[in-house]
Amino acid sequence: MNIKRKTTIKDIANVLNISTAAVSKALNDDSRISEKTKQAVRQVAKNLNYQPNHLASALRKGKSNLVGVIVPRTNSHFFSSVIQKIEEVLNKEGYNIIMTQSSESYKKECNNIDTLLFTQVDGIIASMANETIDLAYYEKIKSKGIPLILFDRGENDLNVDYIGINDYDSSQMIVEHLVKQGCKRIAHIGGYRHTRIFNNRIRGYIDALKKHNLPLDNELLIESSLTIEDGRKKMTQLLNLKTKPDAVYAASDYAALGALQILNEQNINIPHDMALVGFGNEPFTSMVTPSITSVNQHSEEIGKQAALKFLEYTKEPVIKQSLNKIILNAELVVRDSSNIAKVE
């Protein structure tokens, strides 16, 4: 099997019998090169299917016009919507994005960071994986003088910009809603406490129960990866309790969907016998039966603010980052799964 060698600047120079420096200048539209030579170089480059080496160019210029984006997964409307807005805003300013996903794996996230740094990206916008506890790789980004902007999942200890919602207040809002529906035994299928946003949601849930003089039962507070399968398993676990909950608040719409599947399979009346609330306002929440009450995180605005924050750093001669939070107000979108008053 013959592998075709990649065309180089030297190949173009040999065809035209000019120096490689002249070819490079022509390809970069240097004013010192005549228009006739530029056209000849472009035509030969096209004929030889020449592809510029962006990495080498970035090393020479100290600027790649590339921004790395790291997300836990791309099959989520929240993350895909954030990515779309980041790309839209950055494209208008001449930047392209390199999108990577960690699949909630710390090891894969570290590999993503190494790849993006090797590619000489001008900045990194990231949301951390569920497994991430050690922040050394994120500190590595900062040590390179590269702007780091975190969204949705981030850690205060990194002292960088963060864009997200108030997860603590959002949990309080959910519990408040369920209490108003008459619920008294509210369970929480949460994320892992070591992740700041999920810890804040758990704290908000606990404090809201105290505020309304509702008992905190450890059996009703469950940590998980918040997948659909987790939602199914944890909902089954809750239904097997001696005293079942009358409401479930899941910290992810995917876990809420899994919980909904189990409730429907067991013919449990939703919301009268069991109210259900998710988090994230994924499109499917309005399409399933019953539709799922959820929290709108304003993903497009998060993406926009993250991109704008990066662009601010492109105007600074020296990158000096500090903990700077942009916190958006979340919105509870009430649907059939928790609207007991409407059903009655």
166-198 per-position pLDDT tens digit: 999 999 999 999 999 999 999 999 999 999 999
Question: Percent of the chain, pLDDT > 70?
Answer: 94
Q: How far is CA 137 from CA 35, 107, 112, 127, in A?
A: 47, 10, 10, 13
Q: Is the pLDDT of residue 220 over 70?
A: yes
CA distance 224 to 232: 11
CA distance 325 to 307: 14
123-174 per-position pLDDT tens digit: 999 999 989 999 999 999 999 999 999 999 988 889 999 999 999 999 999 9
- The tokens describing 60, both together, are 């020479």
pLDDT at 156: 84
208-220 mean pLDDT: 94
CA distance 148 to 157: 13
Q: Strand 247-250 and strand 186-190: pairing? A: parallel
Strands (E), 116-181: 123-126, 148-151, 161-165
Q: Strand 324-328 and strand 275-277: pairing? A: unpaired
In terms of pLDDT, which residue wins out, 265 or 26?
265
- The tokens describing 339, both together, are 């609207």
Task: Give the distance, in angstroms, between the CA of residue 247 and the centroid of all CA atoms in the same chain.
Answer: 28
**pTM of the predicted model, to two decimals?**
0.81
Q: Is the pLDDT of residue 260 over 80?
A: yes
Q: What is the DSSP letter of 99?
A: E
Q: How far is CA 89 from CA 96, 103, 123, 161, 309, in A?
A: 10, 25, 14, 18, 11
CA distance 57 to 128: 30
Q: Strand 294-296 and strand 331-333: pairing? A: antiparallel
Cβ count near 157 (within 10 Å)? 11
pLDDT at 57: 62
